[in-house]
Structure 1
Amino acid sequence: MGYSRLFYSIIGTVVHLWDFSAESRINVALSGTAFQSSTSNGGEAERAIDGNSDPEWTHQSCTHTAEEKPWWRLQLTGVFRVSEIEVTNRNVLRERLNGVEILIGNSPVNNGNDNPRCSIIYDVPGSLTQTVQCRGMEGRFINFYLSCATATILTLCEVKVYGELVPPPPSITIQAMERNVTLVGKRLCWSDALFYCRDYHWDLLSIRGPEDQEMVDELVASAPFPLTRQLWVGLRRSITGSSWFWMSRDPMDFTQWDAASHHSSPCGGVSSVERSTWRQSSCEEHLDFICVTGPTEGDNKVHFYSSTRQKQTQCV
């Protein structure tokens, strides 16, 4: 069946090529949006980014939660490379800040509380405001999380975030059979590509049949930016066997493997220079990749563990 633009339409192309040189001392928290696990005594989440560092509770510029393992989250206007964060505590009940984890990342899972950790903070005697160095960690979510501290209420009087906006990579998106498929011009290893797709879309692409393959071929042919010779998709091989599967758990009813493929690596992708051709590649190779936005209910994607993404919580 020939490709038809009646079935697929390009709905967006975003190519960003500018140089960015932001002033890192701008408090980017002021333009973000604040959320928290619960609100008590009128201590709304937005109070921590109102530009007022007043530590006196009665002056109505501090947040207040009321539940076990409380959290406060700042959603930035984009992905930022964070250099440092300033936190102002209350002038009384200062112990509520003891053991708070500061997390930075792009995953919305568990309200953002599964993202990597920048630091654990404590009340600093003699200083209501302390500065945490995050050394360029990237993310659009910044969380303050009391996962295992003794206090059950989280109070923040001001949070300031300093960093630079990370320009989004070039991408092109098409709509195909009720899915949005996005080709991303960002060269990552297979696991980082998987996490990128799961953070910003839904998953790495699964190719379920000839129509999906035809769509991929046309998407690659229409890319307005240069591509790597291979593109990561959600192909993964069992470490202990020879069977391949999709990370989305879609059935493997259709394959287009290159006859010369020896499957020495557990990671697979599609060729950008030969139509309808799949090949395995070293999982550490940095390639462009294809994401998909699919179902939002009944998510049973294959779990993938990475030590660089796993937040190690240490409760004492």
Structure 2
Amino acid sequence: MGYSRLVFSVIGLVVHLWDFSAASRINLALSGTALQSSTAQGGEAERAIDGNSSPEYAHQSCTHTQEEKPWWRLQLPGVYRVSEIEVTNSIETRNRLNGVEILIGNSLVNNGNDNPRCAIIYDVPGSITQTVQCRGMEGRFINFYLSCATAEVISLCEVKVYGELLPPPPSITIQAEERNVTLVGKRLCWSDALFYCRAYYSDLLSIRGPEDQVMVDELVASAPFPLTSQLWVGLRRSITGTWFWMSRDPMDFTQWDTVSPHSSHCGGVSSLEPSKWRQSSCEEHLDFICVTGPTEGVNKVRFYSSTREKQTQCV
């Protein structure tokens, strides 16, 4: 059947309630890595997470990009719920933080600058250091981005991040010949499931033929954790009514349930009845199936959400 063995991960089955007072007061940025769009005047990206909060550039603790839509990115050692971020400005060039967006997420599309927004910051008169509340936004990447500037520079003298490490969701994986298929026990709307799979795997799953369907049925039957009645896969319907795979695999094989409604733009597989595909509201929160496979030559469908800058991303 083309698959070899199952890999289980049931970490995270316990319901976790976010408590802001319980967020770690350890500065997470110190254990991260920093990168920026460009470097000028010796202002390396790592200076913003060196533990030195001096706002004077001469103390060699502030970053400095070149112009042309600059960005600075912190990669945390895992995925965190971020409670707050503390930013120290440069005392000589305070205006450089005016209008800078702070973005948090797991995607590296557009260098991470398409992730949801926590805040837009500005120079605060009388205060070199300011704190923004991100209220548990989840992500591994924290970007500072000047999206509207055509000729500007970002300078940061220190960035401190506080939050709590997220346990991975429960999952089970079938290792196939050329790709791994992972059932993820994390209930998301269809668009968020797509973004999740593209951030951590390759894409939402496409079922290309009978052998893939048998593999999915066995994967679902082997799940060691409770599942939603339907599971998102990479099925999407165009405005003309044509169904397609987000991976651009051909739609040569289908298993639609004859009683499935024909009003939704999103589709998945049943976890209760083997080999049944059904349509559901794209905003319904379901578990989902991701795939990891070859990326060379892949031309998957690009998906844009007008609400990606918000915490609620469902469309």
- TM-score when normalising by structure 2: 0.90
Aligned equivalents of 2:15, 2:283: Cα separation in 1: 28
Asked if 1 retains the 8 angstrom alpha-carbon contact of 2:174 and 2:182, the reply is yes
Asked if 2 retains the 8 angstrom alpha-carbon contact of 1:12 and 1:174, the reply is no
Aligned equivalents of 1:68, 1:13: Cα separation in 2: 43
Displacement after TM superposition at 1:197 (Å): 1.2
Aligned equivalents of 1:220, 1:138: Cα separation in 2: 27
Moved more, 145-154 or 261-270: 145-154
Asked if 2 retains the 8 angstrom alpha-carbon contact of 1:53 and 1:61, the reply is yes
Displacement after TM superposition at 1:150 (Å): 6.3
**Residue 179 to residue 42, structure 1, CA distance change in 2 (3 Å):** same
**Residue 276 to residue 18, structure 1, CA distance change in 2 (3 Å):** closer
Provide, for residues 89-139 of structure 1, a one-character-per-residue CA deviation record: whole Å limited to 9, x for no partner: 112122222221111111110110111222221222221111112222221
Aligned equivalents of 2:58, 2:218: Cα separation in 1: 61
Q: How does 1:301-316 map to 2 (within 5 A)?
A: 301-310=300-309
Identity of aligned residues (%): 82
Displacement after TM superposition at 1:16 (Å): 2.5
2:74 aligns with: 74
Asked if 1 retains the 8 angstrom alpha-carbon contact of 2:104 and 2:117, the reply is yes
Aligned equivalents of 2:153, 2:237: Cα separation in 1: 45
Provide, for residues 27-46 of structure 1, a one-character-per-residue CA deviation record: whole Å limited to 9, x for no partner: 21111111111222322211
Q: How does 1:244-259 map to 2 (within 5 A)?
A: 244-259=243-258
Counterpart secondary structure, 2:48: helix
Asked if 2 retains the 8 angstrom alpha-carbon contact of 1:204 and 1:247, the reply is yes
Letter aligned with residue 45 of structure 2: A
Aligned equivalents of 1:151, 1:227: Cα separation in 2: 50
Provide, for residues 277-296 of structure 1, a one-character-per-residue CA deviation record: whole Å limited to 9, x for no partner: 21122222221110112332
Aligned equivalents of 1:75, 1:271: Cα separation in 2: 37
Aligned equivalents of 1:203, 1:150: Cα separation in 2: 33
**Residue 151 to residue 90, structure 1, CA distance change in 2 (3 Å):** farther
Provide, for residues 136-167 of structure 1, a one-character-per-residue CA deviation record: whole Å limited to 9, x for no partner: 22211110112223652211110011122222
2:286 aligns with: 287
Displacement after TM superposition at 1:14 (Å): 4.6
Aligned equivalents of 1:210, 1:128: Cα separation in 2: 62
Number of residues paired by the alignment? 306
Aligned equivalents of 2:290, 2:170: Cα separation in 1: 13
Displacement after TM superposition at 1:18 (Å): 5.0
Asked if 2 retains the 8 angstrom alpha-carbon contact of 1:230 and 1:270, the reply is yes
Q: How does 1:1-316 map to 2 (within 5 A)?
A: 3=1, 7-11=3-7, 13-18=9-14, 22-149=22-149, 152-241=152-241, 243-310=242-309
